[in-house]
Every structure is written in C-alpha cells, then in structure tokens.
C-alpha cells in the first residue's frame, strides 16, 4: 500500500471555480485498490507553498500526482495562459517533496503531452539541470491505470506499456503509449468530491457539483479537442450508478449538479433514461441540474420537457453559431433551423440557457456574423445569457490543425502549447471588433471575454455571489452590466495586434 497525494492545481475562478473531479476520481480509485490517498485542492489556498508544506507534514506521500486542467482559455481577445502558473506550483512541489516521484495528469496533458514533457520532464527546459519537475505524464482516462502505474513505479518496474504513459526513454527519446485509451466507464468509483474538498466554498462561489454519465463524442467538430481527450467511441455509465452517485452527494448536502458529459443530449436515449431515474427517485425536488454540453442533434421538445421535470433549470447550449454556412464548415452536425428550434423549445419549457458562440473561425464573413447576431438579438430570450468566444484556438490533433497543416499556413513544428489562433481571412478584424462592442452594448445579455476582468462588473458579480439571491446568479449579469457600465472595450488592436500568433485562413479542411 502506498500513500498517494493528488495536487489539484487549477485556481481559475471564471466563470466559477470548478471542483477537481478528475483528481478526486483518481484518488477514489487509488483508495479502492488499497492505497491511502489525499487531495490537496489549491483552488482557494492563499499560499501554495504553505499549503504543500502543511500537507506533506501530516501526509508524507510515496508518490505525488499533479492534476492540470487548463492550458489556456481559448480566447483571442482576452487570452489567459495557465502554464506558467502550473509550473510555479510544480516548482513548489519539487522543492517540498524532494525525490518523491511526480506524475502529471489531467485534461491539459492529453492535448499536449509531448510539449509538457519536453518542458517539465527529465532533461526538460524548466528543470535547469536539476531534478525534473515531472517524472512522467499519464494521459487520458486515468482512474483505472493510475493505481497500476503507482504500484509499478514504487517497485521500480517498467511502466512504458501502460496506456497513456508519456515519458522519456533511457536513450533520451520521448515516447507516448496511445494504445488502450478510452476504456469502458462502467464500474467507476464515486468521485465523492465532498470527501476531498470543501464543497461549501465552491457552492458560495456558484460552483456546481460535476457528474459524468458518459465519455466520448462521436461528432468531429473541426476545432474540438474532445477526440484527443475522450475519444470518438461513446461509453456509457450505468444509469443506476450515475444516479446513486447523485443521491449520495444529495445526502451529503449538495444541491446543484452539472452533467459534464461532452454532449449530454446525445444520444438522447441515455439522457432520457437518466431523467426518468432522477424523477423516479424524486431527486428533482431535492436538487437542481444543468448540463454543460448540449448539442441540438436529436433533441426534441419532449426531451426538454422531461429534463425540466427531472430538475434541469438550465443548460449550456454550445451551438457556436446560427449561420448554416458556418455550422457546416465547423462540421457541427446541425443547422440554423435546429438552433432556432432549440431556442423555441427552451423558452416553451422554461429551461434557461447560457448560449456559447464561436465567432471568427475560417470562412466567417460580415454576413455570417450578422446572421448569428440577428439570431441572438431576435430569438434568444432576454433572460438567457450569451457568451461569445472570438477567434479559434488551434489545438493539436484537431481537424482544423490538420487543415492548416495541409494548406501550409502552419508548420508541423509550430508550438501549440502556447496559445495559437486562427481568424477568418474573410472577416475584417477592425470592423468585427467595433461591431461586437456595439452589439454587446445593445444587448445586455451578451457577455464578452474581455468584460470578465472589468473591475465594476467583477466586483458586483462577486458581491452578488455572497448574497442570498436564487441561483443561477448569472441571471443578474445583464442588470449588473447595465449598472457597471461604461462597458470596457477591448484594446483597439486586440484583434489586429494580439499578443499571441494568429494565422488568417478561410480553410477548415
Ligand atoms: C464540463 C467542462 C467545463 C464546465 C465545468 C463545469 C463543472 N461544474 O465542473 C465549465 C463550462 C464551467 C468549464 C469551464 C472552463 N473550461 Co472546461 N471543460 C469541461 C469538460 C467538457 C469536462 C471536464 C470534466 O469534468 N471531465 C470529467 C473528469 C472526470 O475528467 P478530467 O478532469 O479530465 O479527469 C480525468 C483525466 O484528465 C485524468 N486526470 C485528472 N487529473 C489527474 C491527475 C493525475 C495525477 C492523473 C494521472 C490523471 C488525472 O483522469 C481523470 C479521470 O479519468 C472538458 C472537456 C473534456 N471533454 O474533458 C473541458 C475542458 C477541461 N475545459 C477547458 C477550458 C479551457 C475551460 C475554460 C478555461 C474555458 C473558458 N474559455 O473560460 C473554463 C475554465 C473554468 C475553470 N474555473 O477552470 C479545456 C481545458 C484544456 C485547454 N484547452 O486548456 C477542456 C479540456 C476543453 C477544451 N477546450 O479543450 N468547463
Ligand atoms: S464540439 Fe461538442 S459535439 Fe463537437 S466534437 Fe466537440 S464535444 Fe463533440
């Protein structure tokens, strides 16, 4: 039996602090295999060094797993890049833990394992001839593999055949074993987040308890990383197991849940079965549900009615656009009519939505922007929130990445760990920025990335989170924005001279 410490490094509080479900799940499985596991969640820690020292004093581990969620926030106008912050945490970990092996995992590592290993691994740029900040990386679903990895590492055995291992070989070469990723997800342990972290801190800051009912996404939207993260093969958890997990969390006092499936609504049969079970157990009367991935394909008004009955009050409608031409280019699998139906059905069924749009991808023009803006202004109910992401972050392994390589506007050696964007060559950037600002002024329910840091809006939003307003408190954001005006415009050159490289293209492949 080993003592295993999981360090959850994410400290991002926008749009709200997200609970470290990946680290908790890995810890829960390590416990199931007979190890002793703890999670050090850095989200609300004021001093990372002190928190580590405190934990290591009471729980000296044989192995440390570090969880890294975000690389960046994928937004061209107000980019946040998290790698330096995680590197600072890794330095503190190495300093405090000495020679204890450190394994890095989490969503970020599945997207850029080789670049992260070249930076933080043995002989990596950040280790400056000292010990590596990270001994190896484990990519992909890790809860079942990690305990095996831990056992072998601690016995000094070879681990290179384990699925997801990315490491430096004795001859100095980088190797990444991608065989056997995307395991079945039945029999998962209950992440039991309430055992590992202070849920009440999250609840106060509008945090929502994550629940996963399936993994994988069969759609292949051009810009999306989920193929690298979860794979294309859909794997479903047994409905009873998922709802048992919810029931235990409700008994522990949790009242707000979010289905964090890549797409909760597809295929609808699984979503429907979950709703029926929530209804059968009366959980909709004790808790409120939302779903972060909601794609209109296959959605009917009936499904939304059932979700409402099961306790869903909101969804995130990740539609990205309302122009059929752009939806086709993005390979979303639905068109503008489906988006319009979704808006109507959500309104009819009294389900609120945060709508996520992605503007500026290759092929976007003034006309397609106006089509999407017209939809937002006319069809989205004013009590729904609209969030616009600008430009497309190019991630390795996506269809967009392949298309840019094929057209020659991207070199295979381009560093994609650091933010790198593509913007439509057919959309004038000056025009778009001023149009976006004008549009957001006219529509208080339209929020942009560059407003998040606006001091008045941020201060009011934080104040609201401490007051006993009913959730979701984002419903108050349009009013806050009106009080918090004048609207802070993005830097005038935010799109024409951004701090990160941008390639102009009209190709999605
Ligand atoms: C749901 C979701 C959200 C929800 C979260 C809701 C909630 N209540 O938790 C919302 C919408 C709020 C959100 C917001 C953001 N998100 Co998000 N989100 C997701 C999503 C779809 C699922 C995350 C999840 O919970 N998965 C379930 C858990 C169990 O999986 P996991 O954490 O990955 O853990 C597994 C492995 O990673 C691994 N693992 C995890 N930790 C460790 C540790 C060790 C040691 C090991 C070995 C393994 C390991 O094992 C775990 C079990 O198999 C992922 C995409 C995806 N398909 O994964 C994006 C994703 C994580 N998000 C991402 C981003 C960028 C963001 C935002 C920055 C977006 C923005 N523009 O603002 C914000 C940041 C929020 C914050 N405070 O950090 C990126 C992160 C990578 C990147 N590109 O930088 C992802 C991967 C999507 C993407 N675009 O690529 N997100
Ligand atoms: S954007 Fe959504 S639907 Fe499209 S591939 Fe990604 S997860 Fe699947």
**pLDDT > 70: percent of the chain:** 92
Degrees, nearest 5: CA angle 352-354-357: 140
User: How far does the centroid of ligand 2 lie from the alpha carbon of residue 62, in Å?
Assistant: 38
Buried b (16+ CB within 10 A) or exposed e, 182-221: bbebeebbbbbbbebbebeebbeebbbbbbbbbbbbebeb
Buried b (16+ CB within 10 A) or exposed e, 96-116: bbeebbbbbbbbbbbbbbbbb
pTM above 0.85, yes or no: yes
Q: Check: CB of residue 20 under 8 Å from CB of residue 199.
A: no
Among 71, 147, 149, 135, which residue's Cα sits nearest to residue 104?
135
Q: 507 versus 456: which is more confidently predicted?
A: 507
CATH architecture of 3-176: 3-Layer(aba) Sandwich (3.40)
**Residue 173 exposed, middle or buried by CB count within 10 Å (0-12, 13-18, 19+):** exposed
The C-alpha R_g of the chain, in whole angstroms, comes to: 23
- CATH fold group of domain 209-505: pyruvate-formate lyase- activating enzyme (3.80.30)
| pLDDT score of 402 more than 80 | yes
The ligand that comes nearest to the alpha carbon of residue 321 is 2
Out of 4, 76, 81, 107, mutate this one to test ligand 1's pocket (max ligand atoms within 8 Å of CB): namely 107
Q: Is the CB of residue 86 below 6 angstroms from any atom belonging to ligand 1?
A: no
Instruction: Give the three-state DSSP class for 126.
Output: helix
Instruction: Look over the chain and give the mean of its residue pLDDT values, rounded to a whole number.
Output: 91
* Range scoring the smallest mean pLDDT among 194-208, 251-265, 459-473: 459-473
CA dist., res. 304 & res. 46, Å (int): 42
First to last CA, the chain: 50
Q: Is the CB of residue 392 below 6 angstroms from any atom belonging to ligand 2?
A: no
Residue 474 per-residue DSSP state: G
pLDDT digit string, tens, across residues 269-299: 999 999 999 999 999 999 999 998 888 998 9
> What is the biggest distance separating any 2 CA atoms in the chain, rounded to whole angstroms?
63
What residue has token string 């957001």?
A: 440
Domain locations along the chain: 3-176, 209-505
How high is the pLDDT of residue 486? 43
Q: 224 versus 489: which is more confidently predicted?
A: 224
């Amino acid at each position: 039996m080993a003592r295993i410490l999981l360090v959850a490094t994410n400290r991002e509080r926008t749009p709200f602090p997200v609970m470290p479900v990946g680290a908790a799940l890995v810890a829960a499985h390590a416990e199931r295999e007979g190890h002793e596991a703890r999670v050090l969640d850095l989200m609300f820690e004021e001093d990372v060094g002190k928190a580590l020292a405190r934990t290591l004093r009471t729980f000296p581990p044989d192995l440390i797993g570090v969880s890294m969620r975000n690389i960046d926030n994928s937004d061209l106008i107000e980019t946040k890049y998290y790698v330096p912050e995680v590197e600072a945490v890794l330095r503190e970990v190495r300093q405090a833990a000495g020679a204890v092996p450190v394994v890095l995992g989490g969503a970020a590592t599945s997207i850029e394992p080789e670049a992260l290993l070249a930076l933080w691994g043995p002989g990596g740029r950040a280790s400056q001839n000292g010990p590596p900040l990270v001994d190896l990386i484990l990519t992909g679903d890790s809860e079942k593999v990690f305990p095996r990895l831990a056992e072998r590492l601690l016995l000094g055995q070879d681990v290179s055949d384990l699925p997801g291992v990315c490491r430096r070989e004795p001859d100095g070469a980088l190797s990444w074993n991608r065989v056997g990723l995307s395991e079945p997800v039945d029999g998962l342990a209950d992440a039991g987040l309430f055992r590992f972290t202070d849920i009440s801190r999250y609840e106060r800051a509008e945090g929502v308890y994550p629940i996963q009912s399936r993994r994988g996404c069969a759609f292949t939207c051009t810009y999306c990383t989920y193929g690298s993260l979860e794979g294309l093969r859909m794997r479903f958890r047994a409905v009873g197991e998922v709802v048992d997990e919810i029931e235990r969390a409700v008994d522990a006092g949790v009242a707000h849940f979010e289905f964090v499936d890549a797409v909760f609504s597809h295929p609808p049969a699984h979503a429907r079965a979950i709703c029926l079970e929530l209804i059968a157990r009366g959980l909709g009367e004790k808790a409120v549900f939302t779903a972060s991935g909601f794609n209109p394909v296959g959605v009917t008004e009936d499904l939304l009615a059932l979700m409402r009955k099961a306790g869903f009050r909101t969804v995130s409608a990740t539609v990205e656009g309302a122009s059929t031409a752009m939806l086709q280019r993005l390979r979303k699998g639905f068109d503008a009519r489906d988006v319009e139906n979704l808006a109507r059905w959500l309104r009819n069924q009294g389900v609120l939505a945060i709508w996520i749009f992605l503007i500026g991808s290759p092929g976007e023009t003034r006309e397609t922007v106006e089509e999407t803006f017209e939809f937002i202004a006319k069809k989205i109910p004013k009590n729904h929130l609209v969030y616009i992401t600008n430009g497309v972050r190019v991630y390795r392994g996506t269809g967009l990445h392949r298309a840019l390589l094929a057209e020659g506007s991207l070199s295979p050696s381009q560093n994609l760990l650091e933010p790198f964007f593509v913007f439509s060559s057919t959309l004038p950037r000056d025009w778009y920025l001023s149009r976006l600002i004008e549009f957001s002024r006219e529509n208080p329910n339209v929020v942009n990335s560059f407003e998040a840091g606006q001091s008045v809006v941020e201060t009011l939003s934080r104040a609201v989170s401490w007051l006993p307003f009913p959730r979701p408190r984002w419903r108050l954001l349009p009013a806050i924005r009106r009080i918090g005006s004048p609207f802070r415009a993005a830097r005038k050159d935010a799109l024409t001279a951004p701090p990160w490289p941008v390639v102009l293209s009209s190709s999605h492949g």
